[in-house]
Structure 1
Amino acid sequence: MNNIFIFEPSNKNNPHDNVIKFIQFCKSTISNNNLTTSWGSNKWKGLYRFTKFNSKNNLNSKECLDDSFINFAKAYMLHVHSFNKSKTKHSTLSMLKIVEFVLLKTNMEANVNYCNNSVFDECIRIASEKYSKAHAFAIGKELEKLSSFLNDNRMTNSSYLFWVSPIRYKITQSWTGYDSSLEGHSRMPDIKSVIAIAEIFSKQDEQLSSRDIFTTSVLALLMCAPSRISEILALPADCEITEFDGKGIQRYGLRFFSAKGYEGNIKWIPSLMIPVAKRAISRLKELSSQARLLAAEIQKNYSNSTMGTLKENIPQDFPWYDREKKIEYSNALCLLTEGQLNQKKKRMLDKLFRPTMSYFKTDIIDSDYIKGHFNLFKRHGYINEDGSPYLLRTHQLRHLLNTFAQINGMDEFSIARWSGRKLISQNVSYDHRSHLQMSKAEVRTNSWTFRS
């Protein structure tokens, strides 16, 4: 989506017409967005599913939003997404689903013209009961934005709509183990969450579930070299490489196709982390072995008309797991079979499953969780004083490694290459050193230059 879409409401006081015109306006921009090419589709780019709010489990909800509401929901998501294309808006869609649920309950019709403070009060009450405090807080913020949007564009029957969420929430982090100058950076992980991952990863296979092994192995690789989750999930099974450097020392690395423009790249693993990387790769190979064999069998017999059910389960673009990176399903390190990591779901040994970033993060971020659903930390008893499980965001590990590299004097070119960046200038976004640390680095550099 190249442009921000600005809707101008009609001057006349007709909420119904303004909603209709807003939907028509957004429909007219469908060809200029990167979310979907089909307005009628109820699943956009694998990111957004326009299904109803389910008080038990939203992940299993299959019923589409009401006809009187779904077009507004799609238009609003398209509108919001145009302002920040780089971030998914799951809290926004969660909020819209609850609004539809409450409107149907109170008015028998999911018409946004009926939105008022009472409707929003009920929405936030339901969100607080359903979700963790962090996610309910996020939904409250989205309700505030919707309130302003509806009021500014004259889309409600209320003469004036102004609503403020009653939820106040502050994320606290423990910084024990960090240099105190790093305290306060939201892009740096809570050190106790990093330690928890290390402790879980170090357990024997017999003590871990398949989901535990998958999640901790991917996170372990993210700690071995600065990477994006999409890069790890797209690794080939034969990614390991060993070479001798100019000093005759054997080096171990992983073949990546970086998301920051550097294209094909070998990320060399620090000596201390090599056993960790090897164990993570070995575990992921074991998890994916059956799925990769299935993919190879499908590819070998692709034209065989006797394959029957297998043909029905072939993914789109098969045999390419990632066409751009030339990785086939049969050589995908993180490939699984349907239901393999879900103990409550029947495993389908004849259907391939490609884990996505959204699927992965549900095991480490509590704010996206339905109450009662145990993420990795909660499964292993890592709980904060307020009863919430630890959390971690995958990008935080990338920021952590880059900052440590800066503190310890790695040069800018090496950091960019290690991180898979095309431009050295991109390093600055991941450098969270204090002024004192930067000054010390400059002194070291000047001292070395003087001696030279």
Structure 2
Amino acid sequence: MPDSVIVFSPKAERDAAENLSAFISMSRSQLTIFGAGLQFDDMEWDVTEAIQQKGRGKERVRIYFSTQESAGDTLPTQMAEPFVLFAKAYVRYMQGIRPTKNQAFRVTALRALDAAFRQSDHPSLVMIDGETFNRAARVIAERLKQSTAYRVGTQLELIAKFISEHRLTATPLSWRCPIKRPLDAVRVGPEFDKRRSEKMPSQAALDALPKTFLVATQPKDLLFSSIAAILCSAPDRINEVLLLTDDCEVHEQTSDGKAAYGLRWKPAKGADPMVKWIIPSMAPVVAEAIAKIRRLTEDARCIARWYELNPEKLYLPQNLEHLRIKPLLTMDEVKEIILQEEGSASFASLWCSTNNVLLIKSRGRMCARFADVEKAVIALLPVGFPLLNAELGLKFSEALILVRRNELHSARSTFGCVVEPVR
């Protein structure tokens, strides 16, 4: 359990209202989950630094304590007090007791319970009862597809259990969620076999994989076909492939003197690092795939290494180092710094405008300060840099699969001075 977690112990001599008030006060003032400086009373919590979600890139991770009815609105409405105070306290507390990287199910359950509570005639939150939870379950079942409703329902049941165990209601509460486990969650029997078969790629798609691997030339095709080759040879989770290190290859000899080839993996669910050995017939394919990826991504690792050693300095290739001593840059020079290849004539001015770089007219030409460009570029580095994965301690410069920004995009130009993970 994290050091910042304080276990809430209700007092037997207190009534429910006092226990509830004490729980909210403790969560607001004593916990440091999501950071000691968390603005508890805000409707929106930015928890990006505390929760690293895979596949989100630079997108911020936020929790919105909005009503169910306004959850998708541009300007949502906050849950009404006093329920919202309990909801915030519960989310913060439970993140310490049962941490999750996806708050969606927990918050969705709270929104349904908030809606049900507002529909009831209860004058106080401590009067919440089984019928309120039944109403919340009906709301969930009506609004969500069955598989999602079941998962949100399990969170609703956890809330009921928490309220009961911590004596936050005036009368004892014992409630089980009536939402049934969906049939597609059952993983045995003929129905499951049929669903699994329907999800398999066609034979034509499978036949295309090795052909693509042999003929691919574009960065996106090279990378994805190489990843597919690795997965076909060493089946595992895709996010674990994306977290392979540049030095993941292992070469050893078996007891009978034969060569053995494997990959060093860092399991996604917290297990110790391990070596997965590749069957001899597929070893050359995997070795070629790793080599293709390494060649494709070496420039990105070079850029990442630069920023690790020079966190406040803009990366410039050798042929552009002379620009570092210029106080003002022309738009052509800005474009040379940002883009790996030729871009549109208006790119630099648009980029400066988008990234709040002040444009200055000098000798009849639009220019930008080198220092402003440098600051704007460094701000584009991924969240958490230099760590690609804080849990594993994996740096961007150590990752096998890393690209320059937009390098895999079919329409946008590649940035020559910024890296990004593959999601």
* TM-score above 0.5, yes or no: yes
> Quick check: 245-254 or 321-330, which moved more?
321-330
Alignment-derived partner of residue 45 in structure 1: 51
Indicate which of 165, 168, 173 corresponds to 2:177: 165
What is the CA deviation profile of residues 210-235 of structure 1, one whole-angstrom value per residue up to 9, with x for unaligned ones?
99998997687567558777653321
Shift of 1:21: 0.7
Is contact 1:30-1:38 (8 Å) kept?
no
Alignment-derived partner of residue 438 in structure 1: none
Distance (whole Å) between structure 2 residues aligned to residue 282 and residue 147 of structure 1: 53
- The TM-score with structure 1 as length reference comes to 0.52
Structure 2 CA distance for partners of 1:241 and 1:162, relative to 1, 3 Å: closer
Shift of 1:59: 9.8
Alignment-derived partner of residue 270 in structure 1: 279
Distance (whole Å) between structure 1 residues aligned to residue 157 and residue 409 of structure 2: 36
Structure 2 CA distance for partners of 1:128 and 1:324, relative to 1, 3 Å: closer
Alignment-derived partner of residue 334 in structure 1: 401
Structure 2 CA distance for partners of 1:145 and 1:333, relative to 1, 3 Å: same
Indicate which of 301, 307, 314 corresponds to 2:381: 314
Alignment-derived partner of residue 148 in structure 2: 135
What percentage of aligned pairs have identical amino acids? 22
Distance (whole Å) between structure 2 residues aligned to residue 60 and residue 353 of structure 1: 30
* Structure 2 letter corresponding to 1:18: N
Q: Tell me the SS of whatever aligns to 1:149.
A: helix
- RMSD after superposition: 5.5
Is contact 2:65-2:107 (8 Å) kept?
no
Shift of 1:50: 2.1
Alignment-derived partner of residue 443 in structure 1: none
Shift of 1:155: 3.4
Shift of 1:136: 0.8
Say yes or no: does 1:24 pair with 2:34. Answer: no
Say yes or no: does 1:303 pair with 2:317. Answer: no
Alignment-derived partner of residue 89 in structure 2: 75
Alignment-derived partner of residue 264 in structure 2: 255
Is contact 2:223-2:293 (8 Å) kept?
yes
Alignment-derived partner of residue 422 in structure 1: none
Instruction: From the CA coordinates, give the structure whose radius of gyration is larger.
Output: 2
Say yes or no: does 1:236 pair with 2:237. Answer: no
What is the CA deviation profile of residues 186-229 of structure 1, one whole-angstrom value per residue up to 9, with x for unaligned ones?
xxxx97599559986664459x9x99998997687567558777
Distance (whole Å) between structure 2 residues aligned to residue 120 and residue 300 of structure 1: 55
Decide which structure has greater helix share.
1
Alignment-derived partner of residue 147 in structure 1: 160
Is contact 1:42-1:64 (8 Å) kept?
no
Shift of 1:310: 1.3
Shift of 1:102: 5.3
Structure 2 CA distance for partners of 1:310 and 1:278, relative to 1, 3 Å: same
Q: Tell me the SS of whatever aligns to 1:251.
A: strand
Alignment-derived partner of residue 343 in structure 2: none
Residue-pair matches, total: 335
- In the TM superposition, what are the counterparts of 1:4-403 in structure 2 within 5 Å? 5-9=7-11, 11-15=13-17, 17-27=18-28, 30=31, 36-40=35-39, 42-43=46-47, 44-46=50-52, 49-52=62-65, 66=79, 68=81, 69=83, 71-81=85-95, 83-84=97-98, 91-100=105-114, 106=119, 112-113=125-126, 115-117=128-130, 119-156=132-169, 159=171, 161-169=173-181, 170=183, 171-174=185-188, 192=197, 196=201, 203-204=208-209, 221=230, 224=233, 231-242=240-251, 247=256, 249-256=258-265, 266-274=275-283, 277=286, 281=290, 292=301, 295=304, 302-304=312-314, 305=371, 306-315=373-382, 318-321=385-388, 327-335=394-402, 352-354=419-421
Structure 2 CA distance for partners of 1:308 and 1:226, relative to 1, 3 Å: same
Distance (whole Å) between structure 1 residues aligned to residue 90 and residue 228 of structure 2: 34
Is contact 2:250-2:264 (8 Å) kept?
yes
Is contact 1:10-1:18 (8 Å) kept?
no
Distance (whole Å) between structure 1 residues aligned to residue 404 and residue 248 of structure 2: 21
- The TM-score with structure 2 as length reference comes to 0.55
Structure 2 CA distance for partners of 1:29 and 1:56, relative to 1, 3 Å: closer
Distance (whole Å) between structure 2 residues aligned to residue 130 and residue 65 of structure 1: 20
Q: Please, which runs of 5 or more residues in structure 1 have no aligned partner?
A: 177-182, 184-189, 361-452
